[in-house]
Amino acid sequence: MAIELGRRQFVTALGGAVVAWPLATNAQQSGRVARLGILVGLPEGDPEGQRWLKALLEGLEKLGWNDGVNLRIDLRWGGVDPDHMQKLAKELVDLHPDVINVTSTPATAAILRETKTIPVVFSVVSDPIGSGFVQSLVRPGGNATGFLNIETSVGTKWLELLKEIAPGTSRVSVLFNPRTSPQTPFYLQSMQSAAEQLKLPLAVKELGSVDDIETAIAELARSPGGGLVLTPDLFTAAQTQRELIISLAARDRIPAVYCLAVFVRAGGLVSYGTDQPDLQRRAASYVDRIFKGERPENLPVQQPTRFEFVVNLKTARTLGLTVPPSLLATADEVIE
C-alpha cells in the first residue's frame, strides 16, 4: 500500500484568494489520480483505529479506487492532544487533496477550522449540527457531510443495560474528557432522563488526565452500588486509557457499560454502540461520489444502520454477575 506519510512543503496561495471546488470529475475514467487525505482520530497503532482505516480502504477498493493505481492517499493519525490534531489537520489541508475523510468530532472540527472549500466526509461524529459542521442533516450546506456515530437515545440504552446486567447498581458515574469529547452533552439529556426513571443518581465526571481516571474510579468504588458509563471519547477510547479503565473497573469490581465493542473484547463487561467500521465502509461511497463530481452540500448526513451489542461472560462471572438469558439472546457477540 503506497500511502503517502511524509510531510511536503507547498507554496501557499495569496491571502484572500478564492479557492474553487476540487476538479475531481470521474478520475477513474479520465486516468487522473485522485488524492484523498485521511485523518484517523485515534493514535497510530491503535487496533480500533486500524479497523476504521481498513474498512474505509476496503470500501474504496470495492468501488474501484486502488491506492497507487488511480488513488493517492495522504494519511495522518490523531490522538488525544487537540493541538497536535490541529497541526495534522493543517498538514493535510496544505497537501490540497480532492477529498478529506476524517473520523471523530475533534478531528472533524480541526479539519473544518483549516478549510471551507475542500470536501470533507466525516464519520464517528455524534452531533454535526450542534458542532457547527453542517446546517442540517438533509442539506448539509457547506463543504462537509458524512455519517453519524450514534443517536441521543442511546444514553437511555446504556443505563438500562447497566441496571439489567447489574441490578445492584444504585448510582452511576459518566466519565469523559471535554477537550476530546465536546459532544458528550449531546447524550446527557437522555441519560439524565433515564437516570430519573431508573432512580439512579447520575454523576458526570470530567477528565483532564490519566490521574483523573484513577481518582474518579477510586471515588466510585468507595461505597457499593457504583456503576460506570463511558460515552464516545477519543481520550478514554485510546488504547492506554482504555486498558487502564478496564483494569481499574475489574480491580474495584465496578460494572461498566461502554460505547465501543473494543472495550469488551479487551476485558470490559458490556458495550452497545455503532458498528464503526461499517460507518467507514459507507463513508467510502461518499468519497467515491465526490470524486465523481457530486458536492458534499447536496449529500445528506446519514444515520447509523448497524449497531453492536457485545457481552463478556468471563468478566461478568469475575464481577459475580449473572447475565440474563434475554440479554444473551439479543447480543451480537458473546465472549466466553
Q: What is the pLDDT of residue 160?
A: 94
Residue 61 has pLDDT above 70, yes or no: yes
Q: Which residue has the higher pLDDT, 35 or 189?
A: 35
C-alpha cell at 83: 493541538
Residues 6 or more apart whose CB falls under 8 angstroms from that of 104 comprise: 41, 42, 78, 124, 125, 234
pLDDT, position 7: 31
Is the pLDDT assigned to residue 289 strictly greater than 50? yes
pLDDT at 190: 83
> How far, in Å, CA of 130 to CA of 277, rounded?
24
Nearest CA to 228 among 264, 262, 257? 257
Choice among 78-82, 144-148, 167-171 with the minimum mean pLDDT: 78-82
pTM score, two decimals? 0.86
Q: How many whole angstroms separate alpha carbon 169 and alpha carbon 200?
A: 8
Q: Is the pLDDT of residue 98 over 90?
A: yes
Cell 447489574 maps to which residue? 166
> Element (H or E) spanning 327, and its range?
helix 325-330
Q: What CATH number labels 27-148+276-305? A: 3.40.50.2300
Domain map of the chain by residue range? 27-148+276-305, 154-274+308-335
Q: How confident is the model at residue 298 (pLDDT cuts 50, 70, 90)?
A: very high
Whole-number pLDDT of residue 47: 87
Taking 60 as the threshold, does the pLDDT of residue 118 lie above it?
yes
The angle at the Cα of 209, spanning 166 to 101, to the nearest 5 degrees, equals 85
Q: What is the mean pLDDT of residues 255-265?
A: 95
What is the model's pLDDT at position 68? 94
- Are the beta carbons of 80 and 180 closer than 8 angstroms? yes
pLDDT(93) > 60: yes
Helices 210-220 + 239-251 axis angle, to 10:
20
Identify the pLDDT of residue 30.
54
pLDDT 10s digits, 147-180: 998 777 888 999 999 999 999 999 999 999 999 8
Q: What's the whole-number mean pLDDT along residues 92-113?
A: 97
Does residue 73 surpass a pLDDT of 90?
A: yes
**Rounded mean pLDDT, 117-133:** 95
Q: Across residues 55-81, what is the average pLDDT?
A: 96
Query: What's the pLDDT at 78?
Result: 94
Q: Where are the beta strands (DSSP E) in 41-138?
A: 71-77, 99-103, 120-125
Whether CATH 3.40.50.2300 fits 154-274+308-335: yes
* Calpha distance 26→322 (Å, rounded): 56
Closest CA to 205 of 227, 238, 223: 227
Percent of the chain at pLDDT > 70 equals 91
Q: Please check the confidence at residue 8 and state whether its pLDDT lies above 50.
A: no
For the chain, the helix, strand and coil percentages under 3-state DSSP, each to the nearest 5 = 40, 20, 40
Strands (E), 113-252: 120-125, 144-148, 171-176, 202-206, 226-230
What is residue 305's three-state secondary structure? coil
